[in-house]
Structure 1
C-alpha cells in the first residue's frame, strides 16, 4: 500500500510539472516597460472572439515594467495613455489614448485617436504577426522587440522611436491647456476625408494611396504603419517569441513638445509630393512634382529640414524597410 501511495504521489507531481510546462509554453508574455520621464497608463484591448487578457489598464511609473500573459491564439492591441487623472466625480480620463471607460481599466474598449498602437495576431499557423500603427495618429514613441529566442526571416524590432510631436504639422497637433503638444493626428483623424481614410471609392489598395501627411510619418518611422494599406514594410512575424513593448525607448524621445520652444519655425510642408508605390524589392518611394514657383521650392526644402529635425531629436535614426504583406491597418482605433 505504501508503495502504491508513493507511486501515486510521484505521478501526481510529474503531472503537475507537465501541466505547468504546457501552460508556460502555450502562453505569450508581453513585458511592458516605461522609459518615459512621466507616468504612462497602458491600455489593452482584445479582439472579438478571443480570451481577453487581464488587466486591461494600469499605471506604470517612470522606470517600471509589468508582465502580461496572453493565451494562445490571442489577438489585440496595446497602447499608452498620457496625462491621466480623476475628476471630482471620480471619473478617470486621459488627454491621449483615453478608452472612455471612466476607469483605469479599459474593460474591452479601444483607444481614442490619436494614439500609437501595437497590434498583435498570435499563433496563426504557428507564427505571431505584429506591427506598430500610426494610422490613427501618434502620442508616444513605442518599440516592440521579440525576446526569448524567436525565429523568422523578419523577426525583429518594430516601431516608432522618434518624437513626431516635435515636427507635427500645426493642423494635426493636439495641445493641452498649457500649450504642450501631447499628440499628432493622422490626416484621416484630422480631416475625415475618404481619400485619407481609404473609404468609399478609395476603399481598395489600388485607389487609396498615401497622403503627404502619411509620408511624413513614414519617413520618420519607416518600420511603422502610416496608412491603411501600408503593410509591405511594417508587418513583422516571429515564431516562439515573447515580446517587450517599450514606451520612450530612447532617452531623447520624451522632451516636452511646446510649439514655441521645440519648433519655433515650424516649416510648411510640400503638398506637391507624389507617392510612387512599392518597388519589387519592397522599398517604398516618393518623388516631388516639379515646383511651379519659388514658394513650392521653399516648401520642398522645409520638408527636408523636418526629416533632419526628426533624425536629430530621435537619436539613432536609421531607415530600415522590410518586405512582407500580411495585415492591414485601420483608421478605426476601436
Structure 2
C-alpha cells in the first residue's frame, strides 16, 4: 500500500556529515528535526561497518543534516532526547535513547526508543526500511523516499505522539519532572513474558499474535512495526532513492 505524504519543511541550515552525497556511489539520508526541541540522532551500522555520522550528532530544531551511506549499508537511526554532553570530551547522558554516555554512540540506543531501520541494496537491488516501535517509543519519526526511486516507495513512520497516550504501566517519566512522560515502554520490556516478547512457545509468527498494547501502537501508527512479527504492513521497499528521516513529522 502506498501512503502519500507531506511534511512541514523548516530548513534552518544543512550540514553534510561523513561519506559522499554523489547518488552514483551512495544513498543520501537527510535527517531533519521538526521538533520544537533539540534531538541528538544516534546511528548504528551492521556487520561491524563504520558508523554513519560518527555514530551521533546534535540536530537543533529546524535543522537538516545529510549523511552519505555506501551501497549495501545496513543499520539503524534513532533520536535521543534530553541530552547533556561535555563540549570538549563529548561525554554525557540522555534522558531517552542513551547510548554509552557519549555523543558519538559506541552501540545501540537504550529502549524505549523509536527506531528507523535500513538495509540498502538488498534482495533484487531493493532498499528495505521500516520504523519500529518494538523497543518502545520516545519521539515521533517518519521516513520518506525522495529524489527519485522506483517501486512501492511507501512512507513509513509514526506521526502520533504516543507519550501523550501511553498507558500508566508503560510510561517513562522525566527524572526531573514526574509530570512529564518522555517515553513509552514496550509491553515486552515492562512485563517480560513470552506472549509479549514473542519468545518460547510464542516464538513464531503463528504463535505470537498482536496484544492489546501492540494494537494500541498500531492503531496510532499504522505504518510502523508494533510487534516482532508485524511484517506485512510495516516493511517498506524502494529502489534507487534517497531518504528523508524526519523527527516529529507533522503528516504522512
TM beyond 0.5: yes
TM alignment of 1:46-195, pairs within 5 A: 46-86=45-85, 91-100=91-100, 102-107=101-106, 109-124=107-122, 125-152=124-151, 154-176=152-174, 177-179=176-178, 180-195=180-195
Give RMSD over aligned pairs.
1.9
d(CA) in 2 for partners of 1:93 and 1:195? 33
Q: Which SS does the other structure have where 2:196 is aligned? A: helix
d(CA) in 2 for partners of 1:220 and 1:54? 31
d(CA) in 1 for partners of 2:47 and 2:114? 21
d(CA) in 2 for partners of 1:135 and 1:71? 27
| Structure ranking higher in helix proportion | 1
State the Cα distance separating 1:52 from its structure 2 match.
3.7
Which of the pair has the greater relative contact order for Cα pairs under 8 Å at 6+ separation?
Answer: 2
Distance 1:241 1:97, change over 3 A: same
**1:220-264 Cα shifts (integer Å, max 9, x gaps):** 1110000000010011100010001000112xxxxxxxxxxxxxx
Q: Which SS does the other structure have where 1:95 is aligned? A: coil
Unmatched 5+ stretches in structure 1: 1-20, 251-315, 319-334
State the Cα distance separating 1:194 from its structure 2 match.
1.3
Distance 1:57 1:90, change over 3 A: closer
Q: Contact 1:51/1:71 (CA < 8 Å) preserved in 2?
A: no
d(CA) in 2 for partners of 1:43 and 1:204? 30
d(CA) in 2 for partners of 1:91 and 1:240? 37
Structure showing greater Rg: 1
State the Cα distance separating 1:55 from its structure 2 match.
1.8
Unmatched 5+ stretches in structure 2: 1-19
Partner of 1:231: 231
Q: 4+ runs of 1 displaced by more than 4 Å?
A: none
